[in-house]
Amino acid sequence: MPVPNQARFVIVGAGIHGLSTAWHLASKLRASGQGSGADIVVVDKSHIGAGASGIACGVVRNNYFQPAMRELMAHSVGIWESDPGAFHYHPVGYLQISPEVMREDVASIAEQQEAIGYESVFIEGEHASKQYMRGLFDDWEAPGTTSVLHEKRGGYAHNSASVRGLAQKAEAEGVQIITGISVTGFDRDNAGAIKAVETDQGKIAADYVVIAVGPWVERFWQMLSLPPAITVRDASGVDHPDVPMWTYWSLQEGTLGLDPTFQSKNDGGMPPVVHVDSDEPLYSAEDGSLITDEMWGIYYKPDVHFGGIQGGASPFPVDRPAAEVAVDPYGPASPDFVVGESFAHMWTSALGFCQKRFRGTLTHFRREPSGGIGCFTPDNFPIFDVVHDNCYVIADSNHGYKMIGVGALVADEIMGHPQSLLAPFRLGRYATGDLHPTSNSPFPWS
């Protein structure tokens, strides 16, 4: 496909955010009589869904302690529900199963979900929690659980298939998607605004640019001459200078090569996605040795797309120098990333801690590319904001795939309609101390 020398809108990244923005922007331009999809070009250095979106676990949930994240996710779940066929979405629900140290946090989530009309059921107490879970799975154990939040909406989608569904919607609106083209820089005017996107196949003059590149965001941040470190004001008003703008975490995910029906409910139906956090000591299902006596967490689900029982555990920070990210042809979400034996051991032992049926399943763990490296902001929550007057940056901080609705809100903002759901995610929050509250979960994004 020939590369145009100019476009009204250039969107960098053919993943969940770039394609959602392109589709919604094209639709809104057409509906308002202000243009069409022909005004929009999406570019990607590899192919549609080649990065984090194409290897995402696919979980769609609203289990957030932060009110702003909860409201934003409720909006995104609505987009998933708008066309489950095209998005290959399974609305099976989501379970947050927690120990006493998290009960108050999860109760707050339940209350606020009710306040925004997001259907869920909240169970409290160890006995009541076990009885509720055994109503779903008769082999349920997970001692130390004192609360269960069952989100009736949410579930999971098939990663690459849903991204292709977005691409088809965008192309149906006339959007041009060009793959195999790498962005190498930006031509900016004296005021800093972008005049053109520089690529390995020439310049594309642009009126407006959207950066939606997932874990490659640090590389583009550098191209845009934005600061590698910032000052962050904490809740008490104390400023912390020189906080790195981007950090990297190893995402621990994998698949058991078992028939997905192995995880059926008591009635034979498809179960919700199961997420368990625990402060109970976790012992090896293989030799009884102590794996950890600190807080841990896992999630899992039967998934035909992955061909087994797919899930993950708490991530951990890694040293990923900016120079390495800049030269790596795949970047931090490389599909060649393979999780280690320690994850397989921990995860399958944790599965057996939760349900008897998973005991002794380590031999079914697939040693194959999975997980990846996530790029996180200073507070581990997204940034949605305009830089240099005509460049919108979508930095999802590894919350990306489930937030399919962000593109619709960004499209509205590009057209001059500020969105209250995105306001809590501006870059300026770090200077003012308007940070999102933190929970007791071992996951940095909960």
> Is the Cβ–Cβ distance between 145 and 99 less than 8 Å?
yes
Whether 285 is covered by a domain: the verdict is no
Q: Residue 148: inside a domain, yes or no?
A: no
What does the pLDDT read at residue 328? 44
What's the confidence (pLDDT) of residue 369? 58
Beta strands in 257-407 (DSSP E): 273-278, 282-283, 290-292, 296-303, 308-318, 372-376, 383-387, 391-395
202-225 tens-digit pLDDT: 999 999 999 999 999 999 999 999
- Please report the pLDDT score of residue 443 as a whole number: 66
Task: Name the percent of the chain lying above pLDDT 70.
Answer: 93
How far apart (Å, rounded) are the C-alpha atoms in residues 151 and 185?
Answer: 43
267 CB burial (10 A radius; 0-12, 13-18, 19+): exposed
Exposure on the CB side of residue 335, measured as CA atoms within 13 A: 10
Cα–Cα nearest to 203, from 59, 19, 7, 365: 7
74 belongs to a structural domain: yes
CA pair distance 405, 394, nearest whole angstrom: 12
Q: Read off the pLDDT of residues 166-194 as tens digits, 9 standing for 90 and up.
A: 999 999 999 999 999 999 999 999 999 99
CATH number of the domain that residue 76 is part of: 3.50.50.60
Q: What is the pLDDT of residue 329?
A: 35
Percent of the chain with pLDDT over 90: 80
17 inside domain: yes
Q: Which one is predicted more confidently, 436 or 264? A: 264
Q: What is the pLDDT of residue 164?
A: 97
221 located within any domain: yes
Q: Which two tokens stand for residue 342?
A: 């320690």
> How high is the pLDDT of residue 258?
97
Q: Give the tens place of pLDDT for each residue, 278-337.
A: 999 999 999 999 999 999 999 999 998 889 999 999 887 887 654 344 434 334 444 344
Angle at 53 between CA 47 and CA 54, to 5 degrees: 60
Three-state DSSP state, 146: strand
Which pLDDT tens digit goes with each residue over 38-73?
999 999 999 999 888 888 888 999 888 888 999 999
Burial class for 439, CB neighbours closer than 10 Å (0-12, 13-18, 19+): buried
Q: What is the DSSP string of 187-201?
A: EE-TTS-EEEEEEBT
Residue 280 maps to a domain: no
Written in H, E and C, the secondary structure of 239-251 is EEEEEECCEEEEE
Beta bridge partners of 204: 197
DSSP, res 370: -
Say how many CA atoms lie within 13 Å of 373 toward its Cβ. Answer: 23
Q: What per-residue confidence (pLDDT) applies to 446?
A: 62
Give the three-state DSSP class for 30: helix
Asked which of 146-155, 262-271, 274-283, 333-342 is least confident by mean pLDDT, the reply is 333-342
Q: Is 356 exposed, middle or buried (0-12, 13-18, 19+ CB in 10 A)?
A: middle
**What residues have CB less than 8 Å from 110, skipping those under 6 apart?**
120, 122, 149
In whole angstroms, what is the distance from residue 276 CA to residue 207 CA?
47
pTM of the model: 0.93
Single-letter code of the amino acid located at 285: A
Query: Which of 125-129, 343-347, 406-410 has the weakest average pLDDT?
Result: 343-347
CB 165 within 8 A of CB 54: no
- 3-class DSSP state of 88: coil
Residue 145 lies in a domain: no
pLDDT at residue 440 is higher than 80: no
In which band, very low, low, confident or very high, does the pLDDT at 3 lie, cut at 50, 70 and 90? confident
Per-residue pLDDT at 172: 98
97, β-bridge pairs? 148, 276
Q: What is the bridge-based pairing of β-strands 40-44 and 176-179?
A: parallel
CB atoms under 10 Å from CB of 323, counted, come to 9
The tokens of 389 are what? 């007057």
Q: How many domains does the chain have?
A: 1
Domain around 416 = 1-90+154-234+379-434+442-446
What's the confidence (pLDDT) of residue 331?
43
| pLDDT tens digit sequence for 339-393 | 567 889 999 999 999 999 999 999 999 876 566 788 999 999 999 999 999 999 9
Is residue 384 within 8 Å of residue 418, measured between CB atoms? no
Q: Does 334 map to a domain?
A: no
pLDDT for the residue 370: 61
